[in-house]
């Protein structure tokens, strides 16, 4: 990856999690502006984009499938939205970054996609924070943070026709359009699942079951980190 180029960061947007989106976006900006001394390359320029289905004119996926958020399937449009050029990152809005997300770009240099490959686990509940059904998957939460090599030949099949019509939709979350060897692994601390992992210094926290922006989730293991960033955002 050329670190002089712009790295698009697509954050999935859901109206009922508007505050989560704002804090996620702020945490990305905050940690991108402080580059560690001694790095051999300049800080890449990031471009943060709100990813919403209504902003994709070609989006027309109405197959009667359950969708827990508006970005359940829009994340897989990222290579198409870039014109199949360069690198790009997608992240769910219920993340908080404590390190520079731009460091992830190189993980997809020689692969189609890079993700944190969580070992199989069982969610604690059958419903998510806002009453939406919890789906179980053998690659659960792999697609919650994705680094795309948008130019990789295998990603070129993610066309509007394919994205709008392929069933079942869970295939996308299993990254089934790719061969296993085309998927690179990102260290686990970039997708620390609150309530499941116990890390002293995670690089990114994922409030997958619910975050402090919802009543009843203000006292999770990592809630204070999110609330601290929210306070900083208020003072910005």
Whether the pLDDT of residue 44 is over 70: the answer is no
Whether the pLDDT of residue 2 is over 90: the answer is no
For helices 18-32 and 223-235, give the axis angle rounded to 10 degrees.
80
10 Å CB burial of residue 90 (0-12, 13-18, 19+) is buried
- Of 94, 147, 88, residue with least CA distance to 116: 147
- pLDDT-based confidence at 185, cuts 50/70/90? very high
User: What are the two backbone dihedrals, phi and then psi, of residue 192, each rounded to the nearest 5 degrees?
Assistant: -75, 110
Domains of the chain by start residue, with CATH: 6-235 (3.90.550.10)
E-assigned strand segments in 3-159 = 6-12, 45-51, 87-91, 95-97, 113-115, 145-149
- pLDDT-based confidence at 131, cuts 50/70/90? low
Torsion of CA 80, 68, 31, 49, to 10 degrees: 40
Are 150 and 72 in contact by the 8 Å Cβ rule? The answer is no
- pLDDT-based confidence at 188, cuts 50/70/90? very high
User: What are the two backbone dihedrals, phi and then psi, of residue 145, each rounded to the nearest 5 degrees?
Assistant: -140, 115
- Predicted confidence at residue 65, as pLDDT, reads 76
pTM of the model: 0.90
- pLDDT-based confidence at 11, cuts 50/70/90? very high
**Strands lying side by side in the sheet with 192-193:** 95-97, 204-206, 192-193
Are 127 and 137 in contact by the 8 Å Cβ rule? The answer is no
Q: What are the distances in angstroms from CA 107 to CA 99, 102, 149?
A: 15, 10, 9
Whether the pLDDT of residue 80 is over 80: the answer is yes
């Amino acid at each position: 990856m050329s670190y002089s180029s712009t790295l698009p960061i697509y954050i999935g947007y859901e109206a009922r999690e508007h505050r989560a989106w704002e804090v996620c976006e702020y945490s990305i900006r905050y940690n991108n502006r402080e580059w560690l001394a001694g790095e051999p390359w300049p800080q890449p320029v990031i471009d943060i984009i709100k990813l919403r289905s209504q902003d994709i004119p070609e989006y027309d996926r109405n197959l009667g499938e359950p969708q827990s958020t508006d970005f359940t399937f829009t994340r897989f449009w990222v290579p198409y939205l870039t014109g199949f050029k360069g690198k790009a990152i997608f992240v769910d809005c219920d993340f908080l970054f404590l390190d520079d997300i731009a460091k992830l770009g190189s993980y997809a240099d020689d692969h189609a996609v890079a993700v944190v490959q969580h070992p199989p686990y069982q969610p604690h509940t059958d419903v998510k924070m806002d009453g939406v059904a919890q789906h179980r998957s053998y690659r659960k939460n792999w697609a919650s943070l994705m680094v795309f090599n948008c130019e990789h030949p295998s990603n070129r099949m993610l066309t509007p026709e394919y994205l709008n019509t392929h069933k079942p939709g869970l295939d996308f979350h299993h990254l089934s359009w790719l061969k296993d060897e085309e998927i690179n692994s990102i260290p686990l601390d970039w997708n620390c699942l609150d309530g499941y992992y116990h890390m002293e210094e995670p690089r990114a926290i994922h409030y997958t079951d619910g975050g402090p922006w919802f009543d009843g989730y203000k006292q999770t293991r990592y809630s204070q980190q999110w609330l601290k960033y929210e306070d900083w955002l208020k003072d910005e």
